[in-house]
Amino acid sequence: MEEKNEGHGGYFMIVGFVLIHVSPVHEREVFRKLREIPEVVELHYLFGPYDLIAKIEASDYERLGEIVVEKIRRIDGILYTSTLRGLKFY
């Protein structure tokens, strides 16, 4: 998990919700590999156009992008992703 930032009257953390479309024969393997990424703090199966959603915590948006591009998109079986950015306040 990444460190918290201070600002906006309290502490906050950058979060990303990554919607993931997976090749049907790779779903379990992709799920297992995503669970090994420390920044992935939640992971759920979905029904619809996407197969998985991963919640990521990061120190800043640049780091969030690095996690998605360098760790998530490189997993075999992932066809494409869409990332929603947000803030988690404490």
Per-residue pLDDT reduced to its tens digit, 16-70: 999 999 999 999 999 999 999 999 999 999 999 999 999 999 999 999 999 999 9
Nearest residue to 83 (alpha-carbon basis) of 48, 47, 40: 40
Buried b (16+ CB within 10 A) or exposed e, 38-60: ebbeebeeeeeebbbbbbbbbee
| CATH placement of domain 5-89 | 3.30.70.920
- The pLDDT, as a whole number, for residue 1 is 47
